[in-house]
């Protein structure tokens, strides 16, 4: 009885390459929904059927292992159907059975979480949170979503890999997570391991359909826009290891802040090489009442953006972004002019600026010009933690409103979302990553937001006066 899963089931080109690969250790880093579990199931069932060997699916939870196991059942059902369609089968004693369905069903048995195949091969799904519980097994191993295993998966690899000592195979599949993982180590060593990388571009080019909610084909760019998460896109669909980081502020919180800010007055402009500044831009601040302008200025001169974020704040109400100025390749003199006009628009205005490095002199000047109203902030490790904590609290409590996460203002949301924190550890560590919608920014807008929130602390220590 001879068959192969790929002769019964249609596979995309990249799945066929994976199926045909006979390497001892296979590593699959594929984008989401590209069919890595299904291709792995085809390979495991086919190999168990041909060799009579055992396969063990090991995942962090029983549910995850069962998801791959169910695909193995699907493959086995397809093989069984192929044999039944052949019309006859030779039994162990050499006799031919014209009524062969019952015999074939007997050979493809499913008991509990083990699939039994003709010739003695089998596939079993196991929960693997504690690797020591698997130490006594022997056979081929599948690690599913290995990038999510605790402790980077090192303990599991150390204990579970020896199951394959006697010539058995190991398949490791996952989407990328942090770099401090055994999965990243495997992917980074293609000379030792057979590594199959399939991002969304390769998957679509080699047969995977990409469709919208109406079932019609959709382009990768359109799907990317629909996903709306640039950091997640790099990891989940471009298969990039983005580090052991996660967003400082959750995307859902930013979307909620945008919904809350929908329809509220907001103005922004960009000054490029000194061009584009409009004197009187902050005139609207003079007409606000019972709110205090709270400024945050993230300083830059050449490579990055200099960003001025102006909140309208009040003790008992959420803060809302009223003005945003982006300055690229602008002199410090012009930047200080912009800051001064905002500060002079209201006698209660307060501000906080980045006094790290290049911003030191300008912030000293502003602190002298506006005593008690202007704070100097340095982005040391402690300074990053302070600003990050203020942002986490503000968005977590719904106390910061921003323009909607759509259209021309979406770059504000993606800039804040690009602020990443390191997972684990006793202290908060923050990393500024590029904004995919604003080439020159490495969270410059988000940092200005955090500085404005710090300025608001000074505002809360002073009486509020109506601004006219």
Query: pLDDT tier at 317 (50, 70, 90 boundaries)?
Result: confident
Query: pLDDT tier at 251 (50, 70, 90 boundaries)?
Result: confident
Q: Are residues 213 and 260 in the same domain?
A: no
The answer to whether the CB of 296 falls within 8 A of the CB of 453 is yes
The answer to whether the CB of 308 falls within 8 A of the CB of 342 is yes
User: pTM above the 0.95 mark?
Assistant: no
User: Quick check: 177 pLDDT over 70?
Assistant: yes
Please indicate whether residue 107 or residue 228 has the higher confidence score (pLDDT). 228
Task: Map residue 285 onto helix, strand or coil.
Answer: helix
Q: Are residues 148 and 269 in the same domain?
A: no
Q: What's the mean pLDDT in 63-73?
A: 87
Q: What's the mean pLDDT in 421-426?
A: 60
User: Quick check: 110 pLDDT over 50?
Assistant: no
77 domain-assigned: yes
Among 214, 236, 258, the domain-final residue is 236
Query: pLDDT tier at 4 (50, 70, 90 boundaries)?
Result: low
Query: pLDDT tier at 90 (50, 70, 90 boundaries)?
Result: very low
Q: Are residues 218 and 286 in the same domain?
A: no
3-state helix, strand, coil in the chain (%, to 5): 40, 20, 35
Please indicate whether residue 421 or residue 13 has the higher confidence score (pLDDT). 13
Distance CA(94)–CA(65), nearest Å, equals: 38
Q: Are residues 68 and 163 in the same domain?
A: yes
| pLDDT digit string, tens, across residues 28-59 | 999 998 999 999 999 999 999 899 999 999 98
| Nearest residue to 358 (alpha-carbon basis) of 416, 446, 297 | 297
Q: Are residues 28 and 106 in the same domain?
A: yes
Q: Are residues 232 and 250 in the same domain?
A: no
| Candidate ranges 56-70, 180-194, 320-334; pick with highest mean pLDDT | 320-334
Q: Are residues 426 and 305 in the same domain?
A: yes
The residues, any chain, with a CB within 8 Å of residue 13's CB and separated by 6 or more, are 206, 207
426 domain-assigned: yes
Among 212, 236, 260, the domain-final residue is 236
Domains held by the chain: number:
2
Angle between helices 381-396 and 251-261 (to 10 degrees): 60
29 domain-assigned: yes
Cα 374 to the center of its chain, rounded Å: 37
Q: Are residues 301 and 211 in the same domain?
A: no
CATH number at residue 162: 3.40.50.300
468 domain-assigned: no
The answer to whether the CB of 140 falls within 8 A of the CB of 53 is yes
| Nearest residue to 204 (alpha-carbon basis) of 188, 187, 189, 221 | 221
Query: Tokens in use for 447?
Result: 């940092």
Distance CA(197)–CA(175), nearest Å, equals: 10
Distance CA(92)–CA(16), nearest Å, equals: 32
| pLDDT digit string, tens, across residues 352-411 | 999 988 899 999 999 999 999 999 999 988 899 999 999 999 999 999 999 998 888 889
CATH number at residue 318: 3.30.420.240
User: Quick check: 108 pLDDT over 70?
Assistant: no
User: Quick check: 454 pLDDT over 90?
Assistant: yes
User: Quick check: 5 pLDDT over 70?
Assistant: no
| Nearest residue to 294 (alpha-carbon basis) of 306, 282, 278 | 282
465 domain-assigned: no
| Strand duo 194-198 + 170-174: pairing | unpaired
346 domain-assigned: yes
Query: pLDDT tier at 112 (50, 70, 90 boundaries)?
Result: very low
Q: Are residues 198 and 278 in the same domain?
A: no
Residue span of the structural domain in which 282 resides: 245-460
Task: Map residue 373 onto helix, strand or coil.
Answer: coil
The answer to whether the CB of 421 falls within 8 A of the CB of 410 is no
Distance CA(280)–CA(296), nearest Å, equals: 19
Q: Are residues 304 and 414 in the same domain?
A: yes
| pLDDT digit string, tens, across residues 203-247 | 999 999 998 778 788 999 999 988 877 777 888 899 988 766 678
Q: Are residues 152 and 269 in the same domain?
A: no
Among 236, 268, 297, the domain-final residue is 236
Q: Are residues 216 and 252 in the same domain?
A: no
Please indicate whether residue 227 or residue 268 has the higher confidence score (pLDDT). 268
371 domain-assigned: yes
| pLDDT digit string, tens, across residues 136-161 | 788 999 999 898 887 788 888 988 88
466 domain-assigned: no
């Amino acid at each position: 009885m001879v068959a192969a899963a790929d002769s019964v089931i249609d596979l995309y080109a990249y799945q066929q390459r994976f199926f045909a690969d006979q390497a001892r250790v296979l590593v699959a880093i594929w984008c989401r929904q590209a069919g890595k579990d299904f291709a792995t199931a085809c390979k495991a069932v086919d190999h168990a059927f041909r060799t009579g060997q055992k396969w063990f699916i090991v995942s962090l939870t029983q549910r995850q292992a069962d998801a791959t196991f169910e695909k193995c059942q699907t493959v086995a059902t397809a093989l069984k159907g192929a044999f039944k369609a052949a019309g006859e089968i030779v039994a162990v004693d050499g006799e031919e059975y014209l009524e062969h369905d019952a015999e074939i069903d007997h050979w493809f048995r499913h008991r509990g979480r083990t699939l039994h195949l003709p010739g003695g091969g089998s596939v079993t799904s196991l929960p693997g949170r504690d690797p020591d519980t698997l130490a006594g097994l022997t056979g081929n191993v599948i690690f599913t979503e290995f990038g999510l295993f605790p402790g980077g998966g090192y303990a599991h690899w150390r204990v579970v890999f020896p199951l394959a000592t006697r010539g058995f195979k190991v398949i490791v599949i996952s989407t990328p997570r942090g770099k401090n993982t055994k999965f990243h180590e495997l992917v980074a060593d293609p000379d030792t391991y057979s590594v199959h990388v399939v991002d969304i571009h390769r998957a679509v080019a080699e047969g995977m359909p990409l469709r919208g909610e109406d079932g019609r084909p959709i382009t990768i760019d359109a799907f990317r826009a629909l996903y709306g998460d640039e950091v997640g896109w790099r990891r989940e669909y471009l298969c990039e290891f983005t580090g052991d980081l996660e967003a400082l502020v959750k995307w859902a919180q930013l979307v909620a802040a945008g919904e809350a800010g929908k329809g509220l007055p907001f103005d922004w402009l960009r000054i490029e090489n000194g061009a584009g500044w409009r004197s009187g831009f902050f005139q609207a601040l003079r007409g606000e009442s019972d709110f205090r302008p709270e400024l945050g200025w993230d300083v830059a001169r050449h490579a990055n953006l200099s960003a001025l974020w102006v909140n309208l704040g009040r003790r008992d109400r959420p803060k809302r972004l009223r003005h945003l100025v982006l300055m690229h390749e602008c002199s410090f003199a012009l930047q200080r002019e912009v800051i001064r006009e905002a500060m002079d628009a209201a006698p209660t205005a307060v501000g906080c600026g980045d006094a790290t490095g290049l911003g030191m002199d300008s912030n000293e000047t502003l602190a002298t010009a506006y005593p008690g109203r202007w704070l100097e902030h340095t982005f040391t490790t402690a300074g990053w933690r302070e600003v990050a904590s203020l942002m986490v609290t503000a968005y977590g409590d719904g106390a910061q409103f921003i323009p909607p996460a759509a259209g021309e203002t979406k770059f504000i949301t993606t800039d804040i979302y690009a602020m990443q924190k390191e997972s684990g550890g006793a202290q908060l560590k923050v990393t500024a990553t590029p904004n995919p919608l604003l080439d020159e920014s490495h969270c410059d807008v988000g940092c200005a937001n955090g500085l404005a929130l710090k300025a608001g602390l000074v505002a809360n220590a002073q009486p509020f006066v109506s601004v006219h």
